[in-house]
Amino acid sequence: MKTKLISLVCASVMSLSMAYAANTNTQVTTATASAPVELLYTQMANSASVKLNQNQQSATLTLNNVNNKTTWFSDRPVRESGVVGTKHFVSQWQTGGSKSFQTDPPNANIVALRSSNAHLQANPKSLGSFELSNPTYNAKTKTLSYTIKSISGKLKNINHLNDVVLFIDSQIPMFGCTPSGKGC
């Protein structure tokens, strides 16, 4: 019960902050740094599913009715946030050479408020952390798919997750975003 409440509160806070950022395109600056700033990303969707690939070592994560904005925020000491279009986020996946997500795939975790999978309802951490690759975005159908590989356990088929937030780990700024948010 306590875990569900904490998950609900965290997801609610993220939902509200992402909705605010998506509607205002606001960047917040509280510090500056000379070292490269690392960004973390969040993507929201109404639902998601995981389907194991034939090799059983990877799966396809599909986000349905995904938000057309991907929220980013920087790690300390620079504290900034902003949004980039999800289409642009995916199109820039290969930009950046050795620092690109194509070359160095990010880790991610997904939080779902509701699930049709009884195991996930009883144990919300069972999806675990995974590596993302091969994004495919369809703005018309509002779907975003990734190939995922587990880094914390075995992948399972999951038919339906509701109200999901995907958390994507750090990356040196891409997409032309600067610490002050210019170019996003």
pTM above 0.85, yes or no: no
Q: Average pLDDT of the chain?
A: 75
CB distance 174 to 100 below 8 Å? yes
More confident residue, 175 or 84: 84
Q: How far apart are the C-alpha atoms of 134 and 53, rounded to whole Å?
A: 14
Dig out the tokens for 129 from the structure. 């952390």
The pLDDT value given to residue 122: 53
pLDDT, tens only, 19-44: 444 443 434 443 444 567 788 999 99
What's the one-letter identity of residue 181? G
pLDDT, tens only, 41-74: 999 999 999 999 988 889 999 999 999 999 999 8
CB distance 100 to 51 below 8 Å? no
Provide mean pLDDT across the span 61-89: 92
More confident residue, 16 or 119: 119
* Spans of all domains in the chain: 2-171
What's the one-letter identity of residue 110? I
Q: What percent of the chain has pLDDT over 90?
A: 37
Q: How far apart are the C-alpha atoms of 102 and 90, rounded to whole Å?
A: 10
Provide mean pLDDT across the span 166-171: 85
| Residue 74: HSE in the Cβ half-sphere, 13 Å Cα cutoff | 26
Return left, alpha or beta for 88; rule: phi > 0 is left, psi -120 to 50 is alpha, else beta.
Answer: alpha
Q: How far apart are the C-alpha atoms of 164 and 109, rounded to whole Å?
A: 10
The pLDDT value given to residue 55: 82
Provide mean pLDDT across the span 86-95: 86
Residues in the chain: 184
Q: How far apart are the C-alpha atoms of 174 and 177, rounded to whole Å?
A: 6
Q: How far apart are the C-alpha atoms of 78 and 58, rounded to whole Å?
A: 35
CB distance 84 to 74 below 8 Å? no
The pLDDT value given to residue 27: 41
* Distance from chain centroid for Cα 75: 15
Q: Which residue has the tokens 């997409």?
A: 175
In order of 56, 71, 74, 81, the CA distances from 20 in angstroms are 39, 10, 17, 11
pLDDT, tens only, 108-142: 998 887 656 555 555 554 467 899 999 999 999 99
